[in-house]
A and B are shown apart, each in its own frame.
Chain A
Amino acid sequence: MEKTDLPTAEERQAYWRKNLSWLGGLLAVWFVVSYGCGVLLADKLDEFRIPGTGFKLGFWFAQQGSIYVFLILIAIYVKVMNKLDRELLHGGKD
């Protein structure tokens, strides 16, 4: 059932706060995988290898892993925001 009345000011603020905290979390992961694993900690991680492959871990993050994580991050955000949108507009019910 669609709500006929519009969301209240509090509901709108709550929506925006939830959005911001998801953004913070996802961007923290984004930073850690790319700038962390791929750049700042890469030399440390290079001491390890992905078992059964020729990939040093830091090298793999910089040239492969970070890109896969980027994709996952966007996918999560798409899901989360669709859910938040629904909650805001239909009171959590479809």
Chain B
Amino acid sequence: MDVQTWTWLLVGLTFALYIGVAIWSRAGSTGEFYVAGGGVPSIANGMATAADWMSAASFISMAGIISFAGRDGSVYLMGWTGGYVLLALLLAPYLRRFGKFTVPDFIGDRYYSGWARFVAVLCAIFVSFTYVAGQMRGVGIVFSRMLFGDMETVLGMTPINAGVVIGMLVVLFYAVLGGMKGITYTQVTQYCVLIFAFMVPAIFLSIQMAGNPIPQLGFGGGNEAGYLLDQLDGLSQELGFAAYTEGQKTTTDVFFITAALMCGTAGLPHVIVRFYTVKKASAARTSAFWALLFIAILYTTAPAISVFARTNLLKTVENASYEEVPEWFSKWENVGLIAFDDKNGDGLIQYTGPNAAEMGLPENELTIDRDIMVLANPEISELPDWVIALVAAGGLAAALSTAAGLLLVISTSFAHDLVKKTLNPSITEKGELLVARIAAGVAVVIAGYFGVNPPGFVAQVVAFAFGLAASSFFPAIILGIFSKRTTMQGAISGMVAGLIFTASYIVWFKFISPETNTVDHWLFGISPEGIGTLGMVLNFVVTIVVSRFTPAPPPEIRDLVDRVRLPRAAFGEEDGGPVAH
């Protein structure tokens, strides 16, 4: 069988599996639709959280980003894992004990205000939509590159759009039917697919390049030519790039970006809501451990892949004759992931870095898309066909699982927080479930629209999602649990201040005045990616100061906070259901 047949086979099989799981675990009540009835075992929830969290970006792009950024790529590795410590220690157990269904539920009840809830709903919907557009695009990219590679049009659409539509239909089916319960068990399946697909090529590569089957150790190892990292540093510098293990970003910026990603992770509604699906607070802690363990398997392997892939790439293309490049080169050239422009007409590929001119090296002739590091890696290293096909199935699993989780947050925010809690409190459970399903359907269509017509700034707005989550939700939730004195006025003004500050900074440098987006113009040398941290500090300060000068929260709220802090049994209540108040 050839690669194409293998790919169709594996993708077809995994899709059938997801749909089968969704039918088996469909939701019957709003409780099951929103939080899977609150009865998911912690290890399964950990796995689902990991799949929910690791998106097309983690699977396809992250190793590539690190591969090109080298040391600076660390911000993503630490930022996107360190947030789980905050979740496990400061958020998840308390929010689980509070019960109910959503983050806006907590904000609305804790700050005894419909306005606080409303601000939280808007943030949740905005953050989730920016995120989901990128996922649908990811599905389209995998389809067009791996499955429709040699086709001009598919069903009358461009290959990438056809991919988006297929992805939409699959997600529509299992998110609308299964709700959180269906999504949880599909995500467990998807985690298994994606981690297998990520690890197999990594293990092959690690054995090939370092003689060690464990990639995490392999990239610190080496061969007869010395340690891999030293070879890569040397090779990079020879070609006019910076040394791989040395950073280019300033320490301040690295610090602020890492913090924004960490706190943003802990504040993302689609991650938090996963901890509402377990039985009780202690299960939420255990579940956070499992989630980080499953995430860490991929996140500690990614930097190893980056090193292997980068070394391989530099060795393969440098001064190679364009006539004699391996087959993968032209294949990926056709789908636009790699481009060669023979500027000096010598028929050889010169791949050089930013320092090339001052070092007297020829001009760079090769443009490489970072996604190639994962997508084409198995081919570059001449791995078997089924491994290449596996990467497509894994990329789709990663994109679909994240998209489904986000769509559920959007539909829950709409049906539960807006319709049930704000517009029409007398709606029946059946009616609410119907509204939730319709909202999920509409959200899929909108997400699909953005996947087909991506706003030119999808990549840019990711910084937005994390910055906004860090500067809005994170302080409001933390202070809501750890400070009884925090008042409605404090929390609302803090969230609004953090949001407006962060959003204006990002909008200014990304959209209004992108030409000034350099370190000289940044406030304290902090890039738009890292500004969420400062917005968060601002939110904390405003909330604490305003709270001091406004009347203390009513006694029932102080009682609510007490009940969130301690095990429910300490008050003679059952563990499990929502806090009574």
Contacts and interface: CB of A to CB of B under 8 A. Distances in A.
B78 A64 contact: no
Interface in B341-367: none
B282 A77 contact: no
Contacts of A59: 71, 74, 229, 245
A12 B568 CA distance: 11
Given A39-B254, A67-B296, A88 B78 contact: no
A2 to B, nearest CB: 9
A15 to B, nearest CB: 6
A58 to B, nearest CB: 9
B289 A81 contact: no
A93 B300 CA distance: 40
Contact of A66 (B82, B226, B227, B569): B82
A80 B90 CA distance: 14
Contacts of A7: 570
A73 B85 contact: yes
A78 B290 CA distance: 11
A42 B71 CA distance: 11
Contact of A64 (B66, B88, B93, B300): B300
Interface string B224-247: 001111100000000000000101
Given A81-B93, A89-B567, A71 B292 contact: yes
Contacts of A70: 81-82, 84-85, 292, 296
Interface stretch (B19-27, B99-107, B214-222, B393-401): B214-222
Chain B interface bracket (under 10, 10 to 19, 20 to 34, 35 or more): 35 or more
Contacts of B143: none
Nearest to A66: B78
Q: Is chain B's interface secondary structure helix, strand, loop, or mixed overall?
A: helix
A35 B82 CA distance: 10
B82 A27 contact: no
B4 interface: no
A67 B566 contact: no
Given A53-B221, A70-B292, A12 B566 contact: yes
A68 B285 contact: no
Interface string B88-102: 111001000000000
B565 interface: yes
A88 B303 contact: no
A71 B296 contact: yes
B275 interface: no
A34 B300 contact: no
Contact of A55 (B77, B220, B262): B220
A27 B300 contact: no
Contacts of B299: 67
Contact of A89 (B216, B217, B247, B569): B569
A87 B52 CA distance: 35
Interface string A25-51: 011001000110011101000100010
A68 B303 CA distance: 14
A64 B303 contact: yes
A52 to B, nearest CB: 9
A75 interface: yes
Contacts of B89: 23, 26-27, 73-74, 77
A84 B84 CA distance: 21
Contact of B251 (A40, A46, A54, A82): A40
Given A54-B227, A60-B220, A64-B216, A77 B567 contact: no
Given A78-B88, A78-B285, 12 more contacts: A12-B562, A34-B78, A53-B221, A54-B228, A55-B229, A60-B220, A63-B74, A71-B296, A78-B289, A81-B93, A88-B570, A89-B570
Interface of A: 6-7, 12, 15-16, 19, 23, 26-27, 30, 34-35, 38-40, 42, 46, 50, 53-56, 59-60, 62-64, 66-68, 70-71, 73-75, 77-78, 81-82, 85, 88-89
22 contacts: A6-B571, A26-B85, A34-B258, A35-B259, A40-B255, A54-B222, A54-B227, A54-B229, A56-B245, A63-B74, A63-B300, A66-B77, A66-B81, A70-B85, A74-B85, A74-B88, A77-B285, A81-B93, A85-B282, A85-B567, A88-B570, A89-B569
